[in-house]
């Protein structure tokens, strides 16, 4: 087959999720960490169906003639290809799950089938069912007097074909979320055996429908569309926060897009279920693996003492650049500071916020928030600053998918404390990670600006690889101030010099820098473009990279997820190398590099090379002007390009392969953590060159919005368990400091989530 230079976005994402599943199959990983990767694979797929398949389903109904601008596939063609590939991967998923559980049995962890129970175990479960489950069941039969019920997203049910003297009917039993999902069987030793509550209910189906004959039965789980257009659904009679609350409720009742079954059923029963749920046969998937693997965290907790089944704990370290005995802002005034998560701790940045909240010279703090932790220290610091009389302006992005309810709660809490809360402009999410602290000192107005690649979330900072830059550069501060000024009045930044600000000043500047490398290559020089990204979908940038390759520019990219550009095609992308790293931590940092040798310019950014980031979001990329920090980022990127343990290289046919292991082995994440632990003392760095003197405007104090009632924010438990779960590794080193509380088992499943889903538990 002739190589195609463009890959379809959805099929490329499925390749990424397949790489996650490969980690579940990798025998080098501890057994329960492999089970975690298996769970991540499943929760990722849930989100993919909810968001991407849901969007394509809507598009196929509105205008199925519209083709994707890269793969030229219509929505219906993309859906068909997705369903085919997902069905192929089910066999791999089932075999992986079976292998892991078979390997866990000698470790005294057993997921028991109802047929394999001992007499004592069967008696225990019989009593458990009688007292803990049976009184709370609400079985249904479907007939003219009992209509088919609404089945909530991702809930598990038993579906049974029932016969009686009056004919054939359908029976439904809900395996309510009120039930404890994992039922651990009594043990006298440290062995662990369990069954799932849906398996127990399934076992008793015949007794539940005792007045009928159960002809056949299956467990089933429905995935619903969660793609909803906020701006199209906007009600001008309501404020934005009220609108978001209404849309959250509306989203819960969108159409079904997938039906999972635990066993193959007859054609009539499958047809009945499809008719009731308005699904086609293509949207039905039969899986031997449990339909929802979120239960694994209960098993991890039970198995906490079996340390050989988990990664060795690692703890984020203090930065070698920072003196713990001195105020953070004072140190940033002297030179730029840099943090690399999770290797270095986010607590340095939180310390800076806490100091700013108390510092009498601080006049204002401005910040963007997209996703924050359950018990956010960042929110606490901002509230404290407002209560101390600082002007605190916070842009809270209420449209952060599946975090809307949490962010609504945070926005109310911030207002209650006296912060001025803003929301993003119509049609554009604010995804930038930007913080600006303004001080009025005896020397005049001074600024501290922080730019990051990841959320202000102390939990994800232990799970995701991200970068944080803190600087006192005046021009960067002025441009950051312009970003906040524009957002506060519903405008967008039209021009900037140092910062690259989407949607108007990012894509065009990236194209200019690539054009410069093309010119260098054509003149006989060494043109170079490097990037570390989550995803690459922007066709404008992709086409420019093809042009770079054909001009002789070397293009190297580490792209964890989607890549719509295919590398290594002779005469087209032969100078492009793309690799993906899927390992213990989720690769989340964005780095842009242009030029070779002394010409290298380095940026860190919140933006991927995706159309939504470059044209439909407010994003910020910042240049790295400090030579020491620039070199650290370049070395980080080069280490990832050398990874031969967790990296996969893209082939000219769009597939990914692991390179054969060779000495020296380079696991980039392990090496970077080892360096953080080593914490080698360095000579005191040279401060940044003093910027040229320029007039600095006085800060303008803006009125604080009226306070509103506070809402207790609860981070909703969900299949992904979000990012609240697990701890971090090391290579047999003694921690210098433990700023992040250790836990005893691996990380939360949202390490490899496409979107972070948070579904409120039903009462």
579 preceded by a cis bond (ω within 30 of 0) = no
Structure tokens at 389: 């009389």
Say how far apart CA 252 and CA 246 lie, in whole Å.
10
Number of CB atoms found within 10 A of residue 10's CB = 21
The verdict on whether residue 401 carries a ligand-binding annotation is: yes
Three-state SS string across 238-275, please? CCHHHHHHHHHHHHCCCCEEEEEECCCCCHHHHHHHHH
What are the φ and ψ backbone dihedral angles of 444, each rounded to 5 degrees? 115, -170
- Helical pair 627-642 and 668-678, crossing angle rounded to 10 deg: 140
Q: Is the dihedral of CA 265, 268, 272, 278 positive or negative?
A: positive
Structure tokens at 401: 């998918």
Q: Is the dihedral of CA 2, 7, 11, 15 positive or negative?
A: positive
Which residues lie closer than 8 Å to 413 by C-beta, 6 or more apart? Answer: 379, 383, 710, 711, 713
Which residues lie closer than 8 Å to 355 by C-beta, 6 or more apart? Answer: 327, 328, 329
Of the residues 66, 431, 478, 504, which is catalytic?
A: 431
Q: Is 120 in contact with 730 (CB distance < 8 Å)?
A: no
Q: Is 515 in contact with 543 (CB distance < 8 Å)?
A: no
Structure tokens at 164: 């009686």
Phi-psi region of 308 (alpha: psi -120 to 50; beta: other; left: phi over 0): alpha
Question: Interior CA angle at 714 toward 712 and 718, to 5°?
Answer: 165
Say how far apart CA 135 and CA 201 lie, in whole Å.
12
User: Alpha helices of 105-138 — where are they, by DSSP H?
Assistant: 119-128
Structure tokens at 270: 């499958």
Q: With CA atoms as reference, report the closest residue to 199 among 120, 104, 295.
A: 295
Which residues lie closer than 8 Å to 170 by C-beta, 6 or more apart? Answer: 141, 142, 148, 159, 160, 161, 162, 269, 272, 273, 276
Q: With CA atoms as reference, report the closest residue to 376 among 251, 461, 279, 486.
A: 461
The verdict on whether residue 577 carries a ligand-binding annotation is: no
Say how far apart CA 437 and CA 434 lie, in whole Å.
10
**Which helix (H) or strand (E) element contains residue 331?**
helix 328-334
Q: With CA atoms as reference, report the closest residue to 341 among 463, 458, 460, 466.
A: 466
Q: Is 567 in contact with 6 (CB distance < 8 Å)?
A: no
Which residues lie across from 450 on neighbouring strands? 435, 470
Structure tokens at 540: 């404008």
Classify strands 284-286 and 256-261 as parallel, antiparallel or unpaired.
parallel
Structure tokens at 581: 């790293």
Say how far apart CA 524 and CA 213 lie, in whole Å.
81
Say how far apart CA 759 and CA 653 lie, in whole Å.
38
Say how far apart CA 580 and CA 534 lie, in whole Å.
9
The verdict on whether residue 588 carries a ligand-binding annotation is: yes
List, in sequence order, every beta strand (DSSP E) within 518-646.
528-533, 554-559, 576-581, 586-587, 590-594, 601-605, 617-623
Say how far apart CA 404 and CA 388 lie, in whole Å.
28
Active site residue 431: yes
The verdict on whether residue 370 carries a ligand-binding annotation is: no
Say how far apart CA 124 and CA 696 lie, in whole Å.
75
List, as residue ranges, the binding site for Mg(2+): 371, 401
List, as residue ranges, the binding site for ATP: 44, 464, 560, 588
Catalytic residues: 431
List, as residue ranges, the binding site: 44, 371, 401, 464, 560, 588
């Amino acid at each position: 087959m002739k190589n195609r230079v463009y890959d379809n976005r959805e099929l490329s994402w499925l390749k990424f999720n397949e790489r996650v599943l490969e980690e579940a199959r990798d025998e080098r990983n501890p057994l329960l960490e492999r089970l975690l990767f298996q769970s991540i694979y499943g929760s990722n797929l849930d989100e993919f169906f909810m968001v991407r398949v849901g969007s394509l389903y809507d598009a196929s109904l509105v205008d199925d003639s519209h083709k994707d601008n890269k793969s030229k596939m219509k929505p219906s063609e993309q859906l068909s290809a997705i369903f085919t590939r997902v069905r192929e991967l089910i066999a791999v998923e089932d075999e992986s799950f079976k292998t892991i559980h078979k390997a866990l049995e000698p470790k005294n962890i057993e997921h028991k089938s109802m047929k394999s129970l001992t007499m004592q175990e069967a008696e225990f479960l019989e009593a458990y069912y009688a007292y803990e489950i049976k009184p709370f069941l609400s079985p249904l039969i479907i007939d003219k007097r009992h209509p088919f019920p609404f089945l909530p997203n991702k809930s598990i049910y038993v579906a049974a074909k029932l016969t009686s003297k009056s004919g054939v009917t359908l029976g439904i039993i809900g395996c309510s979320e009120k039930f404890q999902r994992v039922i651990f069987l009594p043990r006298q030793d440290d062995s662990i055996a369990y069954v799932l509550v849906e398996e127990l209910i399934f076992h008793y189906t015949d007794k539940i429908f005792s007045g009928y004959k159960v002809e056949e039965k299956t467990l089933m789980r429905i995935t619903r569309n969660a793609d909803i257009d906020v701006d199209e659904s906007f009600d001008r009679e309501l404020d934005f926060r009220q609108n978001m609350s209404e849309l959250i409720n509306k989203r819960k009742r969108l159409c079904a897009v997938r039906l999972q079954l635990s066993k193959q059923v007859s054609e009539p029963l499958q047809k009945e279920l499809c008719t009731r749920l308005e699904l086609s046969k293509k949207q039905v998937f039969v899986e031997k693996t449990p339909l929802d693997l979120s239960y694994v965290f209960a098993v991890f907790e039970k198995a906490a003492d079996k340390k050989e089944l988990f990664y060795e704990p690692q703890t984020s370290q203090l930065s070698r650049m920072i003196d713990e005995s001195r105020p953070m802002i004072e140190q940033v005034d002297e030179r730029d500071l840099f943090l690399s998560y999770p290797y270095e701790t986010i607590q340095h940045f939180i310390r800076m916020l806490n100091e700013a909240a108390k510092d009498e010279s601080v006049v204002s703090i401005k910040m963007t928030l997209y996703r924050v932790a359950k018990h956010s220290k960042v929110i606490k610091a901002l509230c404290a600053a407002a209560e101390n009389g600082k002007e605190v302006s916070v842009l809270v992005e209420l449209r952060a998918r599946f975090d809307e309810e949490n962010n609504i709660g945070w926005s109310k809490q911030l207002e209650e404390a006296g912060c001025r809360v803003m929301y993003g402009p119509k049609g554009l999410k604010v995804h930038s990670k930007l913080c600006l602290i303004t001080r009025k000192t005896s020397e005049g107005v001074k600024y501290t600006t922080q730019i990051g690649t990841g959320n202000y979330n102390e939990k994800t900072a232990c799970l995701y690889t991200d970068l944080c830059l803190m600087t006192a550069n005046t021009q960067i501060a002025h441009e950051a101030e312009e970003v906040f000024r524009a957002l506060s009045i519903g405008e967008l930044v039209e021009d900037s010099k140092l910062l690259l600000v989407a949607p108007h000043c990012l894509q065009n500047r990236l194209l200019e820098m690539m054009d410069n490398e093309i010119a260098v290559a054509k003149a006989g020089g060494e043109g170079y473009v490097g990037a570390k990204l989550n995803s690459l979908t922007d066709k404008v940038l992709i086409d420019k990279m093809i042009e770079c390759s054909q001009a002789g520019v070397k293009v190297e990219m580490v792209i964890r997820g989607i890549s719509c550009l295919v590398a290594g095609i002779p005469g087209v992308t032969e100078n492009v190398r793309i690799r993906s790293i899927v390992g213990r931590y989720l690769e989340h940092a964005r780095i842009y590099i242009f030029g070779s040798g002394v010409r290298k310019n380095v940026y860190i950014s919140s933006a991927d090379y995706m159309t939504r980031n470059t044209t439909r979001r407010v994003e910020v990329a910042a240049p790295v002007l400090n030579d020491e920090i620039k070199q650290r980022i370049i070395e980080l990127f080069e280490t990832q390009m050398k990874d031969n343990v967790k990296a996969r290289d893209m082939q000219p046919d769009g597939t990914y392969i692991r390179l054969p292991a060779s000495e020296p082995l380079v696991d980039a994440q392990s090496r970077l953590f080892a360096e953080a632990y080593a914490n080698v003392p360095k000579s005191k760095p040279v401060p940044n060159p003093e910027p040229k003197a320029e007039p600095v405007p006085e800060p303008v104090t803006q009125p604080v919005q009226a306070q509103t009632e506070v809402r207790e924010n609860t981070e909703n438990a969900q299949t992904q368990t979000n990012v609240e779960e697990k701890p971090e590794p090391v290579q047999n080193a003694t921690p210098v400091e433990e700023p992040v509380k250790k836990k005893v088992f691996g990380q939360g499943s949202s390490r490899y989530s496409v979107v972070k889903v948070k579904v409120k538990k039903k009462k």
